Amino acid sequence: MTVVKEVFTTLLTAAFVVAALTYLAKMVISGFFQKSMDVELARAKAAIEDEYKTKQNTLEREQGEKLAAIKEQADRRMENLKAYLARAERLEAERLRRRGESYGSIWELTGAVNLFGQSDEVNQVALSKKLRDWYFKQGWLLSESAKNHYFLVQETLNFAILRSLELKRPIDDKLYASEKPPVEVLKQIRRETLRLPENPREVSPTLEDIRAAVVDWKKNSGDANGFTAQERAWVIFQFVLSSFRTRLTDELGSRQTIQTQTSALTIVE
């Protein structure tokens, strides 16, 4: 009986020892794997972060290169635009200078057809020739609109030559005896002799309006409304010529007010 107890005790002790060792082994193994997993997780996290940073740096570099390329292209276009504008400004300044010199000759050539001062005799043939010579020397500076005005001047002048109509300014009593300024009187005479429509807003007549007046005058170039055929010829030619000169000044901007830097910066409230 004693032997059995000892054997049983020994077996029980051995079982306890085996269980304890098994538990310890499990704990050791569990701790080892947990530590290993933590290490692996840390490595994976570090690898992901490194990959993210690498891709981020690559994207930033590529974006920087693209932005630099875009900026370079924009700067190049801006320089090209500045060069183009500078060239256009030089060409426009040169054209205005040449036009100023050229257009000024028109006033000298047509001074005989004047509203104020002595009424000079107008040699239509000589004037037409002088205008023609001017055109073939400097007419290339005319815009399309101004050129059409010039052609209308020559058409009116040559029709008067064809019909042997002298250009005679209306008598001074009609122009200067009125209480109205002579310019306003002349406008009234134009409306009466050329049957121009009323223009209360003082809008400059269009080329079509002027041509219509010339066509109407050519159909009936005789005496009318108390004015002789010669006076009506002067009125229509002065009207066409004045419109031509106005077209030239508009292109030059010579009658426009030059805006100063101070006035340009003034804010109107």
SS3 206: coil
Backbone angles phi, psi at 224, to 5 degrees: -165, 140
Where does residue 245 rank: exposed (0-12), middle (13-18), buried (19+ CB within 10 A)?
middle
For the chain, the residue count is: 269
Backbone angles phi, psi at 171, to 5 degrees: -60, 150
- Other CB atoms within 10 Å distance of the CB of residue 161: 14
18-70 pLDDT, tens per residue? Answer: 666 676 666 666 666 566 667 777 777 788 888 888 888 888 888 888 888 88
* pLDDT, tens digit, 9 for 90 and up, residues 191-228: 887 766 666 556 678 888 899 999 999 998 888 778 88
Residue 45 to residue 107: CA distance in whole angstroms: 90
> Please, are residues 239 and 213 in contact by the beta-carbon 8 Å criterion?
yes
Asked whether the beta carbons of 139 and 161 are under 8 A apart, the reply is: no
* pLDDT value at residue 202: 64
Residues 236 and 156: beta-carbon distance below 8 Å = yes
- This prediction has a pTM of 0.63
The pLDDT, as a whole number, for residue 199 is 62
- Going by C-beta distance under 8 Å and a sequence separation of 6 or more, which residues neighbour residue 79? none
How many other CB atoms sit within 10 Å of the CB of residue 125? 11
Could you tell me the two tokens for 181?
Answer: 């300024």
Structure confidence at residue 11 (pLDDT): 62
Q: How far is CA 251 from each of CA 23, 30, 147, 243, rounded to the nearest angstrom?
A: 107, 97, 12, 13
